[in-house]
Structure 1
């Protein structure tokens, strides 16, 4: 489970996002990061039983994203992210296909999966798969438990215009106009502190698994 001190560290980081405070609390950061790595290691073990597309060689340490922000092109010059992000790719050890994503952020934690903002050739392939096999996707995203967990899959950012390969009267145009193909569920801080938090989150990922299979099949 995620430790209370990990949440507390992030809460204080939000209020003190500067290098002096961070360096004075570097040991707390390292302790929090080790907690997240341990949690990710346990989560990976469960997910690899659910999703065979997750590489058995995947290193939990490499799944935990850097807390240091790239501020070169950002108006926000705060040097640190106020959360821990965990990216668990499928079909290899690098991002670029469907994945699972876990974020620990006080009051704004979440578990997600799918493919966020695919690059142009992948987006084209996914749209083609939807055009050919929309019923397979709709069976996944319209399943009552999926809707209960993640809401309406179609209510993600969409193109304002119709993709040029398709017509406005296509019966699946609401899916074809999507820019991302993501299912996500917010998590309360207290949910992360439960002893069975890892298994609960793995169970949620199990409901995302069919979506990831559909998306990866489009890119095969």
Structure 2
């Protein structure tokens, strides 16, 4: 089994996105799903060795359902066009998310559109020591890997309790504190793909540690 077969399954599913087809190819689905779960188990072990704060997360715990939630999104297809997974899972921690699909492949981390409570905690940390956060996101290797924060809608004015002329106002206006690294299918299918993800995780560590500390202290 390989990522090549996983992509082929997703392409076939995308052309036949219905319960009948999935029922007929249930064994094939479980084969690619089990392959990905085992691959995630291996990555989980490697990440735990390099990060003392890592929360072990099995592949079964990490992998997301392939079914779309049609109750809240009735116009979406029955099944997703990707396999998503979140490692280092623990309440209060920022995401470490891996997205493998036919239209998009990426690794992401941090807090995407967090709750008001979490957002308030992150803003308080930036207010207290925004220079440390800026040092992390402006590091050359970090910018080369992630570019910068994921661009989402910002507040038009300063958050409540902060002045418009705050030295870190551009950061404080953010509603999302997350980053991503886009991947190609070719990269995913390379023998050293897991090594690449370990490198990305290490580059992401100071960013996630800063945010995790902000929301737990």
| Shorter-chain TM band | over 0.9
Structure with higher RCO (Cα < 8 A, 6+ apart)? 1
Q: Report the number of matched residues.
A: 216
Q: Partners of 1:147 and 1:167 in 2: how far apart?
A: 28
Q: CA-to-partner distance for each residue in 1:175-215, whole Å, 9 max, x for gaps?
A: 11111111101110011111111111111111111111001
Determine the C-alpha separation between the residues in 1 that align with 2:11 and 2:60: 23
- Deviations 1:105-137, CA, capped at 9 Å, x for gaps: 113010111111211111101100011110111
The unaligned stretches of length 5 or more in structure 2 are: none
Number of the residue aligned with 2:84: 85
Could you say which residue in structure 2 is the equivalent of 1:185? Answer: 181
Worse-matched range after superposition: 156-165 or 7-16: 156-165
Q: Is the 8 A contact 1:154 1:174 kept in 2?
A: no
Inter-CA distance 5–73: structure 2 relative to 1 (3 Å threshold): same
Q: Which residue of 1 aligns with 2:197?
A: 201
What displacement does 1:69 show? 1.5
TM-score (norm 1): 0.92
The match for 1:15 is 15
**How many Å separate the matches in 1 of 2:66 and 2:195?**
25
Shift, 1:153, TM fit: 2.1
The ranges of structure 1 where at least 4 consecutive aligned residues each deviate by more than 4 angstroms after the TM superposition are none
Compute the TM-score of the two structures, normalised by the length of structure 2: 0.93
**CA–CA distance in structure 2, aligned partners of residues 14 and 102 of structure 1:** 20
Aligned-partner Cα distance in 1 for 2:150–2:26: 42
The answer for the alignment partner of 1:136 in structure 2 is 132
3-state DSSP of counterpart to 1:81: coil
Partner of 1:101: 97
Q: 2:214 corresponds to which residue?
A: 218
Q: Residue 107 of structure 1 contacts residue 188 of structure 1 at CA under 8 Å; is this kept in 2?
A: no
Distance in 1 (CA, whole Å) between partners of 2:51 and 2:173 is 28
